Amino acid sequence: MIKNILEKALRDLLPELYQMKPGLCHCKQCEDDVLALALKVLPPKYVSREEGEVYARIELESPQFQVDMLEALLLAAEKVIAHPRCGSGQGKNVNPGENVGEADKKEKNGAKE
C-alpha cells in the first residue's frame, strides 16, 4: 500500500493555518481545496512501508519543511479565501442554508461586493 504522508502532515498544520488566516472558511469543501492546492506545490512524500514512513516523517518534521508546508498552506488559503467554492463569501455572516444551490452561480460574479 502506497500513501502520501504529506497529506496528513498538512492536515496537522490546519489548526495553525486557521489561526493565521481567520478569514478562511472552515467547511469541508474549503479545507479540501486548501489541502489539494498545497499538495500540488509540495513534493509528494510517498511511502510504501512502515520503515519508509519513519524516514519520511523525520524529513517532514524538519523545521525547514514545516516552513515550506506552512507557506504552501498560506498561499492555498489565500486562493480559497478569494474564491471559496462553497460560496460562503469573505468572512461574511452567512445564514446556513441560505446559499444552498447558489454556490455555483456565485463562483465568478457577485461573490464580493
Which spans of this chain sit near Zn ion (rule: CB under 5 A)?
25, 27, 30, 84, 86, 88
Q: Which residues on neighbouring strands pair with residue 46, listed in sequence order? A: 4
* Beta carbons within 8 Å of 43's beta carbon, 6+ residues apart: 6
Q: How far is the CB of 80 from Zn ion (least distance, A)?
A: 8
CB-nearer residue toward Zn ion: 30 or 77: 30
The answer to whether 81 and 23 are in contact (CB under 8 A) is yes
Give whichever of 25 and 60 is closer to Zn ion, judged by the CB atom: 25
Residue with cell 467547511: 27
Minimum CB distance to Zn ion, residue 13 (Å): 18
2 by Cβ neighbours in 10 Å (0-12 / 13-18 / 19+) ranks as exposed
In the complex, least distance from residue 50 CB atom to Zn ion, rounded to whole angstroms: 35
Task: Rank residues 73 and 88 by Cβ distance to Zn ion and give the closer one.
Answer: 88
